[in-house]
Amino acid sequence: MTGAALLVAATGVGVAVAALALLAGAGRAGGRGWTGALAPRAGVGVLAAICLLVAIAAAVAGAGRVAALHAGPVDALARQGRTVPVLLRVTGDPVPRAATGVGWRDGQVRVSAEVRQVLRAGPDGATVATSTPVLVLTPPTDGLRPGALVTATATLHPPLRAGPVAALAVVRAAPTVVGAEPDALAWADGPRRALREAVTGLPAGPAGLLPSLVVGDETLLTSAVREDLRDTGLTHLTAVSGANVAIVLGAVLGTARWLGTPLRALPAVGVVAVVGFVLLARPEPSVVRAAAMGVVAVLGLLGSGRGRGAGPLAAAALVLLLLDPWLARSTGFALSCLATGGIVLLAGRWAERAWWVPRPLALALTVPLAAQVACTPLLVGMTEQMSVSALPANLLATPAVPAATVLGLVAALLGVVSPTLAHLVATVAVLPTGWVVLVAARGADLPGTALPWQGGAVLALLLSAGLLVAVPVLLASRALAALSCLLLLVLLLRPGPLASWPPPGWVLVACDVGQGDGLVLRSGPGQAVVVDAGADPDRIDRCLDDLKVRAVPVLLVTHLHADHAAGVQGVARDRPVGEVLTTVLDEPAEQAEALRAWATASRVPVRRAQPGEGRRVGEVGWTVLWPHRLIHEGSAPNQASVVLRVQTAGGVSLLLTGDVEADAQRALLARYGSGLDVDVLKVPHHGSADQDAGFLDATNPAVAVVSVGSDNPYGHPDPGLLTDLTRRGTQVARTDLDGDVAVAVDDRGAVALVRRGPRP
């Protein structure tokens, strides 16, 4: 119940602040409307009383939502880990994911749903009706769309973290669709499918981004573009946001007015446009929230930059929080509110300052700028990083979004009646998305995409205050603004020597492959030995491309968990692999079978790494230290990880440890003792807490690299371990925060860590 108490408290505070903002916004309105009549007369006591009443309402709503999750059979069955037949109503689009966590298997999709019936769950084996939200991991199947009813046999687990779902439902066999989605949602499938077909044959990056940008359909989005967008703070473009709704609403209302629609009919036209777009983008909670924020943003901009949207923004936030109290804990909701607030309060005023630019173009510049500045304090506080590429990337890329959104929407609607015309419109629409892809790619190539922030919340607020002062001054000067834009273009589009990757003298790169390992040892010009491949073939392939690796003489898979072995096809993409070395334990069996099948099809020999064997390939040599025996305590595959002691041409010693746990570490310590002393340690098992202190003492590394995925559900890396390493004087790099990490030998022969750039 601690989580429930925290939810109620957070909701109460969030709604109270929204209520206060509502009254403050009403006061700004200067007596206009019902809120204006209240605020000028309201004393501190009245304001406090209203906030208290709203907070009480929020607490009741929050408590009700938490209680609803624990009511019925789903919560109890999840705590028991039961496998039961269920009837599900799908509430979101399926999202493909690699096998990187508990319960995941390759090829599964993640989809949100409601359990409508639990079959044979009662004491007499009867069906129990319920309406409980869950997160489902399932093999894909046709018809798995929002609104569809499906039956499946699911193993219920408690959710990985507190949230608005009662359980994690793992489905092994493909579910059976027994009921179609509602007619309105079925209608929306036509334009969505038509847009995907319209971009067929166009460049993959821009074409895949278009459906994602227009209606949030990420089916065709390539992993390379996805990562570039993330690196440059442009990920918000792939999700339906208030900006999408504002663009669509503005375009529809502008067209309607141009066609002579009476002013009194415009609200009805706007409502139809918003409802239609929400259906097209799927009426998921995030889309409905985006619709509310988009309408508020349009109201604010129509107010000629006078902040008239402050009251509607606070009211919208208030209503959304009361309807969905979990939003009080949602970073996305907070960022959405801040971005909309920035647009409402700043964008119009800043556009007026840019007197030398036509207003539509000025708004195209100031809207993303205002949103980014408003979000800066929270982003800095959350990530403890300051992104140096997010602001320029948004300034350069976001002005292309309106054209892409409108043209993409036209292509989607045209595609239902004329695929040929839709393809022609899509061909034009990918020009602006191509610009976005170019900006993201160039921005991602910049070194130090983000910098660690040590200033805390106060300095983050001061940073935003400085931006609030500097931006209007900059916009008011045509010369300064032109010079700034020129510098941004040079920085992002001509990075030249600034984007020096890989760094000179590199000997090891830990690729950011998410929650997994992907290590690259330089063995010569254009060649490298690869140790593990992560779970996503695209991510390891991209890392090798960036390192200009054209051949892999040896691929070593330390053990067969998917987060180390499932990406092997990416290693072999457009580059030959000489042989595969792997561990002695063929577990998990399905992954061992998949590796053998791939190797057979690719004609790549596979053999077991033998303890004590030494090998040299070009500039790098190694000795296999482990496994000498199998350890069945803990995870047997982890304990059987191949451990290598590596020596590079530059004289750097490395210990690559796979996922060995404390028992195997103690066995290594007993066998090799001080022989484990190295310059660089690849921290075992993604920095889990299961480490042996004596093993760390023996390795005594100057540099430790933690290969770990951001927001992983395991709590990796362990904060205590990081503190221990730092206390020992070890430099620590981690791929979730630092992106690709290189170990290099500098001109003096010293070991240096080079971080390509933290992931926002």
Residue 540 has pLDDT above 80, yes or no: yes
What pLDDT does 203 receive?
Answer: 85
Q: Is the pLDDT of residue 678 over 70?
A: yes
Out of 66-80, 97-111, 472-486, which region has the weakest mean confidence (pLDDT)?
Answer: 97-111
Round to whole Å and give the CA distance between 528 and 219. 32
pLDDT at residue 139, rounded to an integer: 85
Q: Contact, 333 vs 163, CB < 8 A? A: no
Separation of alpha carbons 383 and 370, rounded Å: 20
Q: Confidence band (pLDDT; 50, 70, 90) for 431? A: very high
Average pLDDT over residues 18-45: 44
Question: Tens digits of per-residue pLDDT, 40-79?
Answer: 444 556 656 666 666 666 666 666 666 666 777 888 888 8
The more confident residue out of 34 and 559 is 559
pLDDT above 90: percentage of residues in the chain: 26
What would the mean pLDDT of 659-686 be, rounded to a whole number?
A: 93
The residue among 587 and 441 whose pLDDT is bigger is: 587
Collapsing DSSP to helix, strand or coil, 582 comes out as strand
Cβ neighbours for 752, distance < 8 A, ≥ 6 positions apart: 503, 505, 743, 744, 745, 746
Interval 444-471 mean pLDDT: 65
Find residue 607's DSSP bridge partners: 581
Residues 6+ apart with CB under 8 A from 703: 679, 680, 681, 730, 731, 732, 733, 743, 751, 753
Binning pLDDT at 50, 70 and 90, where does residue 488 land? low
Question: pLDDT tens digits, residue range 350-395?
Answer: 888 877 777 777 776 777 777 777 777 776 666 555 666 676 777 7
Residue with more model confidence, 530 or 483: 530
Sheet of 741-745, strand order:
606-608, 577-582, 552-557, 527-531, 519-524, 506-510, 741-745, 751-755
The tokens 């939502």 sit on which residue? 65
pLDDT at 546: 87
pLDDT band at 517 (very low <50, low <70, confident <90, very high): very high
In terms of Cα–Cα distance, which of 421, 335, 337 is closest to 379?
A: 335
| Segment (H or E) for 64 | helix 44-70
Show the CA angle centred on residue 513, arms to residues 145 and 760, nearest 5°.
80
Q: What are φ and ψ of residue 554, in 5° steps?
A: -140, 130
Buried b (16+ CB within 10 A) or exposed e, 271-287: eebbebbbbbbbbbbbb
Lowest mean pLDDT among 109-118, 127-136, 372-381, 688-697: 372-381
Phi, psi (deg, nearest 5) at residue 421: -65, -40
How far apart are alpha carbons 411 and 428 in whole angstroms? 10
Q: What percent of the chain has pLDDT over 70?
A: 72
Mean pLDDT of 2-22: 43
Whole-number Å distance between alpha carbons of 213 and 519: 33
pLDDT of the residue at 640: 94
DSSP 496: G
Q: What is the pLDDT of residue 608?
A: 94
Q: Report the distance separating Cα 14 and Cα 325, nearest Å.
A: 9
DSSP secondary structure code for residue 732 in this structure: E
548-570 mean pLDDT: 94
Confidence (pLDDT) at 181: 59
* Listed range (173-182, 518-527, 649-658) with the worst mean pLDDT: 173-182
Token code pair at residue 477 = 């000067």
**Exposed/middle/buried for residue 405 (C-beta within 10 Å: 0-12, 13-18, 19+):** buried
